[in-house]
Structure 1
Amino acid sequence: MRLLVVCLGNICRSPVAEGVLRARIEASSLRGLIELDSAGTGDWHVGEPPDRRSIANAAQHGVDIAGLRARQLAAADYRECDWLLCADRANLRDVRARAPKDATAQSALLLDWCGTVADGEIPDPYTGGPAQFEHVFQLLDRAADGAIARLRRELQLR
């Protein structure tokens, strides 16, 4: 199964989500069964590392995202991924509006898909401080538990 986490610029929310989910998947029975990536709907940060505050906050929790580089959502993602998991409703609207006619990927809000918060959004911490980055990490940490449970059910694993 291939999952793509999507936010606006791919430097705050989606790389942290990718890092947290990857760490959980690698430590579970799902290791080797899930492909994971992240992207942004915008192209402002393509090729850049995650925001330094995201890197620092994730590192405080033992998650290394420093090697990730921002990229923009591509038409191929709609065919190559199973799920496009969006940080907020604006991202979800953009993802759905850009879908090519031959798209096969499904799209959803990440927190809703994980079963954490129905119709829930991950707030963009970019203009905030350390407390906002920590809040995003905590949301994604809880969401990772739900993602693992869902993926195990879907792949019929324990």
Structure 2
Amino acid sequence: MINVLFVCLGNICRSPMAEAVFKKKVQEAGLSSKITVDSAGTGHWHIGNPPHEGTISILTKNNIEAAGLQARQLKKKDLSEFEYIIAMDAENLGNIRALAGHSNTGEISRLLDYDPASPGEDVPDPYFTGNFEEVYEMVDCSCTNLLTHIREREGI
């Protein structure tokens, strides 16, 4: 199995959105038996909570399943269990790398690294901006490109 983990700050907006979007793309590609998808947050504030209502709303609007999504905190063991660890912004990326230290981990990158047309490097946090539609568009495009990257790299 190829394991993909999306990481944001609280795991209630961006990373669960990316998890749900990517999971749907994996299912549509017929790769659910080869790729698992999860999400986590670098912070502990929302552990056990469902996604933000804005995330649920945008996923529902786009016919993407949100059931079962629940916030959890990134753990050191995640760094050895996931081949692809995808951060939403520079702060998340720094926190992931700090947790990893010198240990071997999978590929650590930012989601917008997979969208060369993106005007920025970070997915803005809709918890603060309220712009769930803009974030969804970034996540959707980047997840399409990420799946292509994984398929090419892994030969699936």
Q: Does TM, normalized by the shorter one, top 0.5?
A: yes
Is the contact between residue 7 and residue 91 of structure 1 (CA under 8 Å) also seen in structure 2?
yes
TM-superposed deviation, 1:114: 5.7
After TM superposition, which residue ranges in structure 1, 4 or more long, deviate above 6 angstroms? none
TM-superposed deviation, 1:101: 4.3
Distance of aligned partners of 1:33 and 1:62 in 2 relative to their CA distance in 1, 3 Å threshold: same
Is the contact between residue 7 and residue 86 of structure 2 (CA under 8 Å) also seen in structure 1?
yes
Deviation string 1:86-134 (CA, Å, 9 cap, x unpaired) is 00001001110111543322311112046564972100000233xx100
Paired position in structure 1 for 2:67: 66
How many residues align? The count is 155
Paired position in structure 2 for 1:5: 6
Identity over aligned pairs, percent: 37
Is the contact between residue 11 and residue 45 of structure 1 (CA under 8 Å) also seen in structure 2?
yes
Segment of structure 1 superposing worse, 23-32 or 116-125? 116-125
Paired position in structure 1 for 2:87: 86
Paired position in structure 1 for 2:33: 32
Quick one: distance in 1 between partners of 2:22 and 2:11? Answer: 15
TM-superposed deviation, 1:85: 0.4
TM-score by length of 2: 0.91
| Runs of at least 5 residues in structure 1 that lack an aligned partner in the other structure | none
Distance of aligned partners of 1:115 and 1:81 in 2 relative to their CA distance in 1, 3 Å threshold: farther
1:4-153 alignment to 2 at 5 Å? 4-113=5-114, 117=118, 120-129=121-130, 132-153=131-152
TM-score by length of 1: 0.90
Root-mean-square deviation (Å)? 1.7
